[in-house]
Amino acid sequence: MSAKSTELQIRAVTGAGIVGLIVGAIAGGPWTYGLLLFIVVLLGVRELFVAWRLMPAFPRSSVMGVGAQFLLVLAFGSLWAMSWTSSGYEAWIPLGWFALMWSNDTGAYLFGRSFGRHLLAPSVSPGKTWEGWAGGALTALLIGGILQYHLGAAGQGHWLVLATLVSVFGPLGDLLESLLKRKAGLKDSGHILPGHGGILDRFDSHIIAAPIALFYLIFA
pLDDT tens track for 119-139: 999 888 888 999 999 999 999
Query: What is the Cα–Cα distance from 208 to 47, expressed in whole angstroms?
Result: 18
Q: Where are the alpha helices (DSSP H) in 116-158?
A: 130-151
pTM over 0.95: no
pLDDT tens track for 51-84: 888 887 666 667 677 788 899 999 999 999 999 9
Distances in Å between the Cα of 156 and the Cα atoms of 81, 147, 149 are 13, 12, 13
Using alpha carbons, select from 140, 119, 145, 161 the residue that is nearest to residue 205.
Answer: 140
Q: Domain residues of the chain, as ranges?
A: 3-219
